[in-house]
Amino acid sequence: MEIKKYLKAQKKEITEFYVYSRLTTKSKNENAKNILQEIANQEKKHYEVLKTLTDQDVSPSQIMILLYTIIAEVFGLNFALQLMERGERVSSGFYESVTDSTEALKMMEEEREHERKLISLIDDKRIEHMGAFVLGLNDALVELTGALAGLTLALSNARLIAMVGLITGIAASLSMAVSNYLAAKEDDKKDALLTGFITGGAYIFTVLILISPFFIFSKAMIALVFTLIFAIGIVAIFTFYAAIAKRTKFAPRFARMALISLSVAVINYFIGFLIKKYLGVDV
């Protein structure tokens, strides 16, 4: 059983050697490159030490190497480093569990040092715009899921709901973008225009995803079900990203955002029912 643990750790170390080596090429900062290469070399050394204990060669996980490379390309080096930092904590915990080995103790301390160095590399420039993105995404989720739920019962016609939702969404996204730009301008932020663009962009992106089922399905209720599923999916993906980037807990944040969006949708659904009943609207 012990040999299996060492082989698993050995595979992790050689995989991380290749990952850090790849990430080195993604950074434009010379100091960051040097630190990443140093960590990569130490991971290779850890692999060699473990090899003396297992007396076996282990191949790296090509899937994990490719995955981290794609993550760095799509979500940025900072996000990839945050994920790697979590991996370093796991490695440190493993070596702590086998403290009878002098080499294991040394590698444990090196893994902890890796974690500290990775944290120092994390540049918050991409993350600092997350507030603007959250504003656009959260408002679109809450407002549009609620509006679409109300419109579904009030109008019943999927294409008509899609058209109204799209017009409402575009108008709201422009309003959000301008409002956030003006707020940033008032605070003398240099990137006020970018802040407004990010907020509006996040809003309209969410709008397009949420109304898409109403263009696909002819029955409004089926479209609404898929809209709510998409809304939960968006919340889950973004919450995961935010939890990694800001090192917060996923579950409470996800539960809060999902509950708010669904609650507003339910309330607006009944508002649509009341409007249809008392105003006599039947489309």
pLDDT tens track for 183-217: 888 877 778 888 888 888 888 988 999 999 999 99
Q: What confidence tens digit (pLDDT) does each residue in 99-128 have? A: 455 665 566 566 656 556 665 555 545 555
Let me know whether 239 and 200 are in one domain: yes
Q: Are 89 and 56 in contact, with CB atoms under 8 Å apart?
A: no
- Is the separation of the CB atoms in 131 and 251 below 8 Å? no
In this structure, the answer to whether residues 136 and 17 fall within a common structural domain is no
Q: What are phi and psi of 100, to 5 degrees?
A: -70, -15
Separation of alpha carbons 127 and 279, rounded Å? 47
Residues 97 and 202 both lie in one domain:
no
Q: Are 18 and 52 in contact (CB under 8 A)?
A: no
Query: Domain range for residue 271?
Result: 128-279
Residues 46 and 178 in one domain: no
Confidence category of residue 2, pLDDT binned at 50, 70, 90:
low
**Cα–Cα distance measured from residue 283 to residue 153, given in angstroms and rounded to the nearest whole number:** 10
**pLDDT value of residue 211:** 93
Q: Is the whole-model pTM more than 0.85?
A: no
Task: Based on the fold, state whether residues 8 and 61 are members of the same structural domain.
Answer: yes
Domain ends where: 103, 121, 139?
121
Mean confidence (pLDDT) of the chain: 78
Residue finishing a domain among 121, 148, 179: 121
Banded model confidence at residue 279, pLDDT cuts 50, 70, 90: low
Shared domain for 252 and 275, answered yes or no, is: yes
The answer to whether residues 90 and 200 belong to one domain is no
pLDDT of 31 above 70: yes
Number of domains in the chain: 2
What is the pLDDT at residue 176?
A: 83
Residue 133 predicted with pLDDT over 80: no
Do residue 112 and residue 134 come from a single domain? no
Q: Are residues 144 and 80 in the same domain?
A: no
* Domain boundary pick from 121, 137, 165: 121
Burial of 146 (0-12, 13-18, 19+ CB in 10 A): buried
Question: What confidence tier does 230 reach under pLDDT thresholds 50, 70, 90?
Answer: very high
Position with higher pLDDT, 79 vs 214: 214
Helix residue ranges, H only, the chain: 2-24, 30-54, 62-75, 77-97, 102-121, 130-155, 158-186, 192-216, 220-246, 250-279
